[in-house]
């Protein structure tokens, strides 16, 4: 069978199974097996597939029609222009989280011009780092900064460590195991703290996609108290860990912007709170400044 024909039939199979973006999915899985990017798949459309290639491809298409996420099948996911290893112990990086990176980079520029570097550079912390996609990306985009990446899961930290080595960020990040409810952070040591914590309420479980429930860690998805417990814990930790004038950046649910701002006000640690919308128009990321008192 020629590659072009296989792509067409694979996309049809995926579509019948109800898979989102079936043609793109077919190209990704075919490219993964054959070592080709999407353009090469098109250019080499007349290529005859070998029997062992067909066997491998059919196995992957079968896994996807069964609901397994593409990132788990290929073992990686692109985030902010870099490929990150993902496992069943970490959330799959989402495009909407790139908004958190954009806002953190903006905040970092302001902080670099405002804070006294004292020859020691600036430090940030990423609470609930998972695959490390947020903390490692910031460390690579901000060469004057050093990051502390924390997660309660040892398996998640192992994945983050692998990503740090693969992306040559091991010298600008440190990984530590810890609970964000009792975060082991040095007081007043950080100019910026970022987090994409669990924020889905248990009552919203029925609204979560089946494949997310089946394949991604529930401990990284769900939070008590209507999804706000971990957000509140991060705010409390940041109140002590941030330098005066430091920035806290939180990703949260699309309907949690007002609640997040309320928690920030109630802490008495933060001011100049602003919530930003993602490309879909949903409130996704809230930024606040640590008071100087």
Q: Are residues 56 and 158 in the same domain?
A: no
Tally of domains in the chain = 2
At residue 173, the pLDDT reads 97
The fraction of the chain above a pLDDT of 90, given in percent, is 91
Domain assignment present for residue 73? The answer is no
DSSP state of 182: G
Q: Are residues 119 and 241 in the same domain?
A: yes
- What burial class does residue 222 get, using C-beta atoms within 10 Å of its C-beta: 0-12 exposed, 13-18 middle, 19+ buried? buried
Domain assignment present for residue 77? The answer is no
Domain assignment present for residue 243? The answer is yes
132 is in an annotated binding site: yes
20 is in an annotated binding site: no
151 is in an annotated binding site: yes
Q: Are residues 60 and 198 in the same domain?
A: no
> Could you tell me the CATH number of the domain that includes residue 281?
3.40.50.150
Tell me the pLDDT tens digit for each residue of 102-151: 999 999 999 998 875 444 579 999 999 999 999 999 999 999 999 999 99
Domain assignment present for residue 76? The answer is no
Domain assignment present for residue 151? The answer is yes
Measured in degrees and rounded to the nearest 5, phi and psi for residue 143 equal -65, -15
102 is in an annotated binding site: no
Q: What is the mean pLDDT of residues 60-68?
A: 95
> Could you tell me the CATH number of the domain that includes residue 23?
1.10.8.10
Q: Are residues 108 and 234 in the same domain?
A: yes
Domain assignment present for residue 88? The answer is no
Q: Are residues 20 and 122 in the same domain?
A: no
Among the candidates 21, 51, 67, a domain finishes at: 67
Q: What is the mean pLDDT of residues 153-173?
A: 97
User: pTM of this prediction?
Assistant: 0.93
At residue 98, the pLDDT reads 97
Q: Are residues 127 and 45 in the same domain?
A: no
Q: Are residues 102 and 54 in the same domain?
A: no
* Element (DSSP H or E) covering residue 126: strand 122-127
Domain assignment present for residue 81? The answer is no
Among the candidates 48, 67, 86, a domain finishes at: 67
Range of the domain at 280: 95-290
Measured in degrees and rounded to the nearest 5, phi and psi for residue 88 equal -70, -10
Q: Are residues 99 and 62 in the same domain?
A: no
130 is in an annotated binding site: yes
Q: Are residues 113 and 59 in the same domain?
A: no
Nearest partner of 273 among 289, 259, 250, judged by Cα: 289
Print burial letters for 169-202: b (CB count within 10 Å at least 16), e (below 16). Answer: bbebbebeebebeebebeeeebbbbbbbbbbbbe
Token pair for residue 79? 């985030």
Q: Are residues 51 and 118 in the same domain?
A: no
Q: Are residues 117 and 19 in the same domain?
A: no
At residue 41, the pLDDT reads 87
Whether 152 has a pLDDT exceeding 80, the answer reads yes
Whether 5 has a pLDDT exceeding 50, the answer reads yes
At residue 51, the pLDDT reads 93
Sign of torsion over alpha carbons 110, 111, 112, 113: positive
Tell me the pLDDT tens digit for each residue of 28-53: 999 999 998 888 888 888 989 999 99
Q: Are residues 155 and 228 in the same domain?
A: yes
At residue 116, the pLDDT reads 59
83 is in an annotated binding site: no
Domain assignment present for residue 74? The answer is no
At residue 119, the pLDDT reads 44
């Amino acid at each position: 069978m020629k590659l072009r024909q296989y792509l067409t039939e694979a996309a049809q199979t995926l579509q019948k199974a109800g898979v989102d973006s079936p043609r793109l999915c077919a190209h990704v899985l075919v490219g993964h097996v054959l070592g080709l990017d999407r353009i090469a798949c098109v250019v080499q459309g007349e290529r005859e597939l070998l029997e062992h290639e067909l066997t491998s491809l059919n196995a992957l298409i079968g896994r996807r029609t069964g609901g397994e996420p593409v990132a788990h099948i290929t073992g990686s996911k692109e985030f902010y222009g870099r490929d990150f290893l993902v496992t069943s112990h970490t959330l799959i990086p989402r495009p909407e989280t790139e908004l958190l990176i954009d806002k953190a980079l903006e905040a970092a520029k302001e902080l670099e011009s405002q804070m006294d570097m004292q020859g020691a550079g600036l430090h940030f912390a990423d609470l609930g780092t998972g695959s490390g996609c947020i903390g490692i990306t910031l460390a690579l985009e901000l060469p004057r900064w050093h990051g502390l990446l924390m997660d309660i899961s040892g398996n998640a930290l192992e994945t983050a460590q692998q990503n740090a080595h693969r992306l040559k960020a091991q010298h600008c990040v440190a990984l530590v195991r810890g609970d964000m409810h009792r975060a082991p952070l040095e007081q007043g040591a950080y100019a910026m703290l970022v987090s994409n914590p669990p924020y889905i309420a248990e009552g919203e479980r029925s609204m979560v996609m089946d494949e997310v429930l089946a394949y991604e860690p529930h401990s990284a998805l769900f939070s008590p108290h209507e999804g706000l417990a971990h957000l509140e814990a991060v705010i409390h930790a940041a109140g002590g860990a941030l330098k005066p004038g430091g920035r806290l950046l939180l990703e949260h649910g699309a309907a949690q912007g007002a609640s997040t701002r309320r928690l920030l006000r109630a802490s008495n640690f933060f001011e100049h709170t602003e919530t930003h919308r993602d490309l879909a128009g949903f409130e996704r990321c809230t930024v606040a400044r640590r008071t100087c008192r």
